[in-house]
């Protein structure tokens, strides 16, 4: 279920069926708000300026309280963070920096490329999670160099 720009809840039964929920910061906010009406959400631009990702991790844990298993939040140029279902320490992956001869052309689809690369690296290639996150970061970075 791609909640994209819609403000609609994700069914808790569906969340339990997914190995990974992979929202971006604004999708994470909307999902949390749909599950907990008392949840106060920040404008996602505040996340871009805030170097501390503890609040994002807490929001991911809120999804887990509602049935999500592994929550991998994409943060654009800040990278990504995975909150694993086993309660272990969150895994933070920096974004993949573009070489100087490449530049950002269009950010459309970067998150989709990230998710696809992560899924292939984990499910098909059986890569360890940190390595799959690195591959996904590289795919998302390359996606922004094309229109």
Active-site annotation, residues: 112
CA–CA gap between residue 90 and residue 16 (Å, rounded): 19
CB of 56 within 8 A of CB of 37? no
Is residue 126 within a helix (H) or strand (E), and if so which, with residue range? none
The CA-based dihedral angle spanning residues 126, 71, 133, 142, taken in that order and rounded to the nearest 10 degrees: 120
Q: If you ran DSSP here, which 8-state letter would residue 76 be given?
A: G
What 8-state DSSP symbol labels residue 19? S
């Amino acid at each position: 279920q791609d909640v994209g720009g819609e403000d609609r809840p994700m069914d808790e039964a569906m969340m339990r069926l997914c190995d990974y929920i992979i929202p971006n910061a604004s999708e994470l906010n909307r999902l949390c708000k749909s599950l907990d009406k008392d949840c106060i959400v920040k404008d996602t631009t505040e996340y871009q300026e805030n170097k501390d990702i503890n609040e994002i991790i807490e929001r991911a844990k809120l999804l887990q309280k509602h049935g999500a298993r592994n929550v991998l939040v994409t943060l654009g140029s800040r990278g990504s963070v995975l909150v694993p279902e086993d309660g272990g320490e969150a895994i933070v992956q920096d974004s993949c920096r573009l070489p100087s001869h490449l530049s950002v052309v269009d950010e459309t689809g970067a998150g989709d490329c990230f998710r696809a690369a992560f899924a292939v690296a984990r499910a098909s290639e059986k890569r360890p999670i940190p390595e799959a996150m690195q591959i996904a970061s590289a795919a998302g970075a390359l996606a922004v160099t094309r229109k």
